[in-house]
Amino acid sequence: MKILLLGKNGQVGWELQRSLSPLGEVVALHRHSTNFCGDISNLSGMAQTVRAIQPNVIVNAAAHTAVDKAESEPELARTLNALAPEVLATEAAKLGAWLVHYSTDYVFDGGGDTPWLETDATGPLSVYGRTKLEGETLITQSNPRHLIFRTSWVYAARGGNFAKT
């Protein structure tokens, strides 16, 4: 199996490199990769990368994750969190490949006192949450072979996170 991993230098991507390697050939990219385009803001470059690699599975761990900064750069956040996942989903569908995508609990409004279900109503309160929800919607419309994880409080040995503060 060939796996394309995007966002290899982030907290999730860094940990996934080790976890995915026993499953097959992993092509792990980040925004400054040189052999293939790993910059998810380059939508045509991403499409070309998928076509060139022809993976069985695409794992998208790349995103605009600076929640507060997304408010001042909404177009960039939309490109990274919604349009890039749509391109990945569309290209994956052409290959019959799976797309595994990491989203966020920011698609919800933060209310309630029980864990959310996949079927719960969404209600993002920020640009970040709205762009991540748009990405989820575009993925589901573009490729029936997808898996979306809505994560929260991600932490790892690498990168900045709440566990290190």
Q: What share of the chain has pLDDT > 90, as a percent?
A: 61
Active site residues: 128
Residue 114 reports pLDDT greater than 90: no
What's the CATH code, domain 2-157? 3.40.50.720
**All structural domains of the chain with their residue ranges:** 2-157
Residue 128 reports pLDDT greater than 90: yes
pTM: 0.90
pLDDT band at 159 (very low <50, low <70, confident <90, very high): low
Map the chain to HEC letters: CEEEEECCCCHHHHHHHHHHHHHCEEEEECCCCCCCCCCCCCHHHHHHHHHHHCCCEEEECCCCCCHHHHCCCHHHHHHHHHHHHHHHHHHHHHHCCEEEEEEEHHHCCCCCCCCCCCCCCCCCCCHHHHHHHHHHHHHHHHCCCEEEEEECCCCCCCCCCHHHC
